[in-house]
Structure 1
Amino acid sequence: MKSILIAVVCASSLMAASPEVGNYMQQLQTEASEPFDAARGEALFTAEQIGKKGTKIACTSCHGSDLTQKGKNVNTGKIIDALSPGANPARLTSLKEVKKWLRRNFKDVYNREGTAQEKGDVLTYIMQYR
């Protein structure tokens, strides 16, 4: 029963992603201890941490709290396109970009690489955001 639930959750989340990103999510799920959860992903995305530069930062510091809107990098001032695939269909289409930005942003905010569970939870949150 648990594997059926995991498959349903993953399938509904993957509708917004490319096939490569969908396969990546399935790989992460095999490494994770629980089914991915958008609420847990949102908590990770919005939680303030002492980042790698020694100041308080959260994913929302750059991406904002409305993922359908553009954000702005707090360090460089560079404009960041909307993170929600519903608002920006180019999001979550390149596996290389997804892996790169997950690794980089977890290191910037959490001072470490995210776990498979954390990456999957955050991606699930972003994918379902409308």
Structure 2
Amino acid sequence: MRLFIFICTALTFSFANVSDDYLSQLEQKIENFKGFDAKRGETIFTSTHMGKKGKAISCTSCHGTNLNESHKNFFTGKVIEPLSPKANPERLTKIKNIEKWLMRNFKDVYNREGTAQEKGDVITYILSKD
């Protein structure tokens, strides 16, 4: 049991550090930085836009509103594992993957790459939902 608790604690510490490191990197890119905001992140995550394939889409179209559950990709039907790092310890553990998926998903929903502020707000929102 102690080993299990240690592993869970280590995983939680691991994704928190990677997320914090990524948010710090984003912060450095923003002139007159005033903080990341989960409420702005929620708006970005839940608002609907005409996506790259000409269909109305939001982040919730693929990830749902409960980030602790699996959902299906809006376009392919492929199962997407939970976005919450607490429900899915693989989430937010590598900066390279965070950057890759944020870029891809912003392009799918917004037809553009997200700004550093928007990315930080979305990550802050995701972490607030745990």
Indicate the TM-score class for this superposition, using the shorter chain for normalisation. Answer: 0.7 to 0.9
Give the CA RMSD over aligned residues: 1.7
Identical-residue share of aligned pairs (%): 55
Partner of 1:76: 76
Q: Which moved more, 1:86-95 or 1:48-57?
A: 86-95
Letter of the 1:51 partner, please give it: G
Partner residue of 1:26? 24
When normalised by structure 1's length, the TM-score is 0.83
2:50/2:110 contact within 8 Å kept: yes
Partner of 2:106: 106
Structure 1 residue 17 displacement after superposition: 2.5
2 CA distance for matches of 1:113 and 1:89? 26
1:51 paired residue number: 51
Which entry has the higher C-alpha Rg, 1 or 2? 2
Mapped contact 1:52–1:111 kept (Cα < 8 A): yes
**Paired residues of 1:34 and 1:117 also in contact (CA < 8 A):** no
Whole-Å Cα distance in 2 between the matches of residues 71 and 28 of structure 1? Answer: 28
Classify the secondary structure of the residue corresponding to 1:17.
Answer: helix
User: In the alignment, residue 76 of structure 1 is paired with which amino acid?
Assistant: T
- Does the CA-based 8 Å contact 2:18-2:92 persist in structure 1? no
Ranges in structure 2 where 5+ consecutive residues have no aligned partner: 1-11
TM-score with structure 2 setting the length: 0.83
Distance 2:114 2:21 in 1: 18
| One-letter code aligned to 2:105 | N
d(CA) in 2 for partners of 1:47 and 1:73?
17
Distance 1:52 1:128 in 2: 28
Which residue identity does 2:45 align to in structure 1?
F
